[in-house]
Amino acid sequence: MNDGTQGTTTRAGSADDLLVGVDGSLGERRSRARGRAQAARRRQRRRRLLVVLAVVALVLGGGAWAVTSFLGGIRDEGGTSAGVEDYPGPGRPSAQVVIPEGATGAQMGEVLTEAGVVATAAAFADAFAANADAATIGPGTYNLLLEMKASAAVEALLNPASRATTRLTVPEGFTRDQVLARAAEVTGVPLADLEAAAADPAATGLPAEAGGQLEGWLFPATYDVEPEATAADVLAPMVAQTVAVLNQRAIPADQWQTVLTKASLVEREAGRDEDRPKMARAIENRLERGMPLQIDAAVAYGAGKSGRDLTTADLEDPTNPFNLYLVGGLPPTPIASPGAASIDAVLSPEDGTWLFWVTVDLETGETLFATTNDEHNANRRLYEQWLAENE
C-alpha cells in the first residue's frame, strides 16, 4: 500500500540520513585536526631547518649575519617581522651623533644604532656599501633624525647641512690677533681662552722652530670646529696644517721660521698672485746685497697700525724691531699667516734683478718692479698720481 510503504521508506530514509550526517561531521573534524597537526609539524621542520642553516653559516664564517638574518626572518602567524631590520623613515626629531675619526661603515652603523637613528647596524652597513660616495663621510658631529631609513641616514651624513660643526675661515694675511678675534666671534670660544692657548706652545702643538711665537703659524684655511671645542682645539689644527704644508714641500725644519717670515712679507705686500714670485726675488736680492728691506707692511705691523697710516715718524722709529728701514735682515717673526701661494713664491722666486717694488693702484693691486733707484722713483710718482686722483 502506498501510504504504509512510503511512510516506512521515509522513516528509514530519515534515520539513514541522520546516521550518515553524524558520521560525516566526525570525519570532517578529524580531517581538520589532522591538517592542523600536519601544519604544526611542517612549521617545526622549517624552524629546525632554519636553525641548521644558521649553524652552517656560522661555521662557514658568516655567523653574525646568519644569526641576524635568522632572527629577523622569523615571522609570526600574521606574517609580520618579529624585529625591525630598517625603519621606513623619514624619521622624527632629533639626534646628534659624533662620527669618530677613521670610522668604518660598520662602526658608523653601531654609533647610529646606539643613538636610535637607524634600526640596525647591518641595515646601515648595507646602505653604506650601496652608496658610492659613502667613503667620503668624515668625522665630526652631525644633526640627524631618529628612526631614519638607513639609506637616508647615509645621504644625511653626506650633506654638509647636517654638520653640527661651526665653519671658521682664516683668510691669507691675517695676523695672530686678527685670527684670535675672528675665532672668538665665530665659535663663541672666549677670546681670553684663545689668548691663553696661543701663549701655550704645548697646547697648540707649536714646533720648537717657532721660538714660542705663534705669529705666522695659523694657516689660512677653512676649519670645522666641533660644538664643545676648547681654545686649543680651535688653534691646534691651524698649526698642524702649517706643519703639514711645510712638510709637503720638503722644507727642512730648521728653515721653517725663515720661510714663513719671508712668505709673510710677500703675503702682506702682494696684491696679485703673479707678483709674488717677483717680490720674493726682490727680497732675496736685497738680503744678498745687505740692503735693508724697507718693507712698509713690517713697519706697520710693529707699529700696530695700517700701512696707509704710516708716518715719517714711524719710518724713523728705532724702537720698533719690525722697522725694516732701520733694522737689517728679516723681522724677528713673521708678520702674518702666509698662504700656500706666498710660501711657494719664496721657495721658487722668479729670476730677475729687481730690488724695489711699489703698488701703483691700490684698487687693482697693480705693482711695478724696478732695479734702479731712478726706475723706482718713476714708479713712485705713478703711485702718488693715483693717490691724488683717488683721494
- pLDDT (tens digit per residue) in 50-80: 444 444 444 444 443 333 333 333 333 333 3
**What's residue 32's pLDDT?**
45
Q: For residue 323, is pLDDT > 50? A: yes
Query: Angle at the Cα of 282 (from 278 to 284), degrees rounded to 5?
Result: 115
Task: Look at the block and give the residue holding cell 685670527.
Answer: 179
Please state, in angstroms and rounded to a whole number, the distance separating the CA atoms of residues 213 and 232: 15
* Cβ atoms of residues 143 and 94 within 8 Å: yes
Q: How many CB atoms lie within 10 A of CB 192?
A: 10
**What's residue 67's pLDDT?**
37
- pLDDT (tens digit per residue) in 143-196: 999 999 999 999 999 998 999 888 999 999 999 999 999 999 999 999 999 999
* Out of 8-22, 27-41, 135-149, least confident range: 8-22
Q: Find all residues with CB under 8 Å of 365, minimum gap 6, and list them.
A: 270, 271, 272, 275, 359
Cell, residue 72: 629577523
**What's residue 44's pLDDT?**
53
* Cβ atoms of residues 24 and 37 within 8 Å: no
**What's residue 6's pLDDT?**
36
C-alpha 192: how far from its chain's center?
27
Please state, in angstroms and rounded to a whole number, the distance separating the CA atoms of residues 87 and 93: 14
Question: For the chain, what is the mean pLDDT?
Answer: 83
Cell, residue 361: 693702484
Mean pLDDT of 36-48: 50
The CATH fold of domain 92-162: Dna Ligase; domain 1 (3.30.1490)
- Predicted TM-score of the model (pTM): 0.71
Q: Where are the domains of the chain?
A: 22-83, 92-162, 166-248, 268-389
**What's residue 79's pLDDT?**
31
* Helix, strand, coil distribution of the chain in percent, nearest 5: 60, 10, 35
Mean pLDDT of 205-231: 95
Which secondary-structure segment (H or E) carries 191? helix 191-198
Question: For residue 270, with 0-12 CB atoms within 10 Å meaning exposed, 13-18 middle and 19 or more buried, which class applies?
Answer: buried
- pLDDT (tens digit per residue) in 97-144: 999 989 999 999 999 999 999 999 999 999 999 999 999 998 889 999
Which tops the pLDDT comparison, 25 or 337?
337
**What's residue 308's pLDDT?**
82
Which secondary-structure segment (H or E) carries 223? strand 222-225
Mean pLDDT of 282-295: 97
Mean pLDDT of 349-359: 96
